[in-house]
Amino acid sequence: MSETTSTQIHLASRPTGWPTDENFSVEHVELPELADGEVRVRNEFISVDPYMRGRMNDTRSYVKPFQIGEQISGGAVGRVIASRDSSLPEGTLVLHQLGWSDLAQGPAANFKQIPDLPGVPSSLRLHILGMTGLTAYVGLKAIAGLVEGETVFISGAAGAVGTAAGQIAKLMGAKRVIGSAGSAEKVELLTSKYGYDAAFNYKDGDVRGQLAAAAPEGIDVFFDNVGGDHLEAALAAFNDGGRAALCGAIASYNTTEPTPGPQNMANLITRGLKLQGFTLSSYLNYGEEFSQLMGQWFAEGKIAYDETIVDGVDNTVQAFLDMMGGANTGKMLVRI
Amino acid sequence: MSETTSTQIHLASRPTGWPTDENFSVEHVELPELADGEVRVRNEFISVDPYMRGRMNDTRSYVKPFQIGEQISGGAVGRVIASRDSSLPEGTLVLHQLGWSDLAQGPAANFKQIPDLPGVPSSLRLHILGMTGLTAYVGLKAIAGLVEGETVFISGAAGAVGTAAGQIAKLMGAKRVIGSAGSAEKVELLTSKYGYDAAFNYKDGDVRGQLAAAAPEGIDVFFDNVGGDHLEAALAAFNDGGRAALCGAIASYNTTEPTPGPQNMANLITRGLKLQGFTLSSYLNYGEEFSQLMGQWFAEGKIAYDETIVDGVDNTVQAFLDMMGGANTGKMLVRI
């Protein structure tokens, strides 16, 4: 592995529907000498996330689109291998948003030092102890306003955000947590490992009927990672005053036709429901509170997690596509 | 007019689609002697409102359905003509929820004394100074959280709630208020009388395009009385952080097929939007604040209104159907 040549994944063209290899290019970029105040980092893990698909489109959003010909940015964790900034000496473990590459370089301010704890893999900073866990927490706490004793439904529950959200909901005092996932194995794991009270396979169809059976007393909170028929099912199952935190809509990220909306939107009025979408960037102020809570839960052994790991920066695109297709349980990561 | 025989409109059967005369019956009911603590009221005006259509169905809602064979309940204003309760002597002006009849009778607690102000028609207690005005205020203030300088879109803007909401939005400091209505005459009235900055006729089609043209800088708040394509248009026009108060969905109240949902629900996530439905019953605590504000605005001559009046309790069903069809400008009322 070179110390000066960065292997990077760039966006070559905007995908229509499912991305293909042609939409990306692998670039070998010779890094310039470090300037004063800069550091060079060798990544240990890089993150592939569903929201990245949205940034590949040139559409208006909170988060601006990836630019063609530029590196795909996103979460990564690594170690400083060269430094011209005294605050981040060689060997420091850091988190950053520079994304899909083996080496990252730039001003020290772009890198955040993280605690290098024995027995805590650095990869966890990219999911349960990082943005993924914070996303789950913000959705339940700030957006849906979950309170003790409520029933929660989480779609796409075996993914990185879903496995975190189910456990956090229970730890926040939810009475009953129900999850949907895309295979029998994942469904089994939700109840055996992640504390879900009930789970079902949405690929068996009739999401509305399966949810109604799993939630005979209705649901109060919905954490949505999927969209489409999951949202319609939740609207049918909501108790009065129900709240949905809309985090993702993976069902429609790779479709080229418009996704039909729920046919039961009128329930919003008759039951006094709230649907609220969010992207984490507006709620980073919850980071401190989350880190304290999750740090304690994790130290007490209350948090389970799974990682699906692919090796080598060259395989990042494949890891991303596999994740979009549901090949992962828990967090999909690329190990450098 | 008898002092002891009440002419009442009862629900005879549940409508499918548009209600017809057969769904109602006119009953002449001999009232019993007044018991201690009871009063008898001759109504001056009774209210017909869109939400009543929902209560004619046997579906789960915050507000329970009307029962077959029972009188249609709802807002009415009248004067006490016989009293066995010292708190409400003969001649007192009262507001109540007993609904579609010429005479109303019951415990004094079911009737609320209202100020009998010179120059203020009692009918206004059923709209701009009453529940209708409060509905508009709650939607803008408590649900959508309108703040100064924002752009507001109100659908069904020439109706009772819409004419109130447009004026209240302006008085709350909205920068620009846009309305939709169902005829050229109504559209003209919105800008000439009700202070709307722009308005369009939704029967001309392309609601999305007409809204985009009227709101070149997007909208921040949507107050929905219509649903359907209006909601889809608002989702397309929303700025980041936009909020919708969903008050009514008159477009779908009389349809027998499910209403297609908006195809652009994903905007909720990418733009951080909130959609919240409400029924007034949960927000009556805003009544005091509203009465003070509206009382002052009204006294200062800042509030315009229209009434479409039908005479005679026998014509209540026709008034209700005409209102559902959009025959009214401002508030539709039956004068007894």
Residues A100, A50 share a domain:
yes
Cross-chain residue pair A274–B275, CB shorter than 8 Å: yes
The span from the CA of B53 to the CA of B249, in Å, is 11
Q: What percentage of chain A exceeds 90 in pLDDT?
A: 88
- Confidence at residue A256, expressed as pLDDT on a 0 to 100 scale: 79
The span from the CA of B55 to the CA of B58, in Å, is 7
Residues A138, A114 share a domain:
no
- Confidence at residue B1, expressed as pLDDT on a 0 to 100 scale: 58
How many A-B residue pairs are in contact by the CB < 8 A criterion?
Answer: 116
Residues A158, A205 share a domain:
yes
Residue A265 vs residues A164, A224, A231, A272, B226: alpha-carbon distances, Å: 28, 16, 10, 11, 12
**Taking CB atoms and an 8 Å cutoff, what residues of chain A touch B61?**
270-271
Residues B9, B106 share a domain:
yes
Residue in A closest to B260 by C-alpha: A263
Using CA atoms of A288, A293, A295, A299 in order, give the dihedral in degrees to the nearest 10: 170
Q: Is residue A259 part of a domain?
A: yes
- Which of B61, B264, B276 is nearest residue A270 as measured by Cβ atoms? B61
- Alpha-helix residue ranges (DSSP H) falling in chain B: 51-55, 131-138, 160-171, 184-192, 207-214, 229-237, 267-270, 287-299, 316-324
DSSP codes joined into one string, B180-192: EESSHHHHHHHHH
**Taking CB atoms and an 8 Å cutoff, what residues of chain A touch B274?**
274-277
Residues B277, B165 share a domain:
yes
Residue B203 vs residues A87, A310, B181, B182, B200: alpha-carbon distances, Å: 65, 56, 8, 6, 9
Closest CA to A157 of A80, A248, A238: A248
* Residue range A35-71, pLDDT digits in tens: 999 999 999 999 999 989 989 998 876 678 999 999 9
Are B335 and B316 spatial neighbours (Cβ–Cβ below 8 Å)?
no
Residues B140, B236 share a domain:
yes
Residue in B closest to A232 by C-alpha: B261
Residue B16: give its domain's CATH number.
3.90.180.10
DSSP codes joined into one string, B298-335: HHTT-----EEEEESGGGHHHHHHHHHTT--SBEEEEE
Residues B253, B137 share a domain:
yes
Kindly state the tokens that stand for B82.
Answer: 């016989």
Closest CA to B272 of A281, A229, A64, A59: A281
Q: Is residue A108 part of a domain?
A: yes
Cross-chain residue pair A270–B60, CB shorter than 8 Å: yes
Q: Is residue B49 part of a domain?
A: yes
Q: What percentage of chain A exceeds 70 in pLDDT?
A: 99
> What string of pLDDT tens digits covers the 336 residues of chain B?
578 999 999 999 999 999 999 999 999 999 999 999 999 999 999 999 988 998 999 887 667 899 999 999 999 999 999 999 999 999 999 999 999 999 999 999 999 999 998 889 999 999 999 999 999 999 999 999 999 999 999 999 999 999 999 999 999 999 999 999 999 999 999 999 999 999 999 999 999 999 999 999 999 999 999 998 999 999 999 999 999 999 988 777 778 788 889 999 999 999 999 999 999 999 999 999 999 999 999 999 999 999 999 999 999 999 999 999 988 889 999 999
Cross-chain residue pair B274–A274, CB shorter than 8 Å: yes
Residue B239: give its domain's CATH number.
3.40.50.720
Q: Is residue A27 part of a domain?
A: yes
Cross-chain residue pair A249–B258, CB shorter than 8 Å: no
- Which of B249, B260, B271 is nearest residue A260 as measured by Cβ atoms? B260
**Taking CB atoms and an 8 Å cutoff, what residues of chain A touch B246?**
265, 268-269
Q: Is residue B165 part of a domain?
A: yes
Residues B140, B158 share a domain:
yes
Residues A136, A106 share a domain:
no
Cross-chain residue pair A274–B279, CB shorter than 8 Å: no
Residue in A closest to B61 by C-alpha: A270
Mean pLDDT of chain A: 95
Residue in A closest to B57 by C-alpha: A270
**Taking CB atoms and an 8 Å cutoff, what residues of chain B touch A208?**
none
Cross-chain residue pair A247–B259, CB shorter than 8 Å: no
Q: Is residue B293 part of a domain?
A: no
Residues B229, B96 share a domain:
no
| The pLDDT of residue A2 is above 80 | no
- Which of B260, B270, B279 is nearest residue A269 as measured by Cβ atoms? B279
Q: Which residues of A touch B (CB under 8 A)?
A: 54, 59-62, 227, 231-232, 240, 246-249, 252, 258-279, 282
Q: In 3-state terms, chain A is what percent helix, strand and coil (to 5)?
A: 30, 30, 40
Residue span of the structural domain in which B32 resides: 5-127+306-335
Our CA angle for B321, A264, A234, nearest 5°, is 150
Residues B276, B173 share a domain:
yes
- Pairing verdict, β A38-47 and A76-83: antiparallel
Residues A136, A120 share a domain:
no
Q: Is residue A290 part of a domain?
A: no
- Confidence at residue B119, expressed as pLDDT on a 0 to 100 scale: 87
Q: Is residue B288 part of a domain?
A: no
- Within 13 A of A194's CA, how many CA atoms are on the CB side? 33
**How many folded domains does chain B comprise?**
2
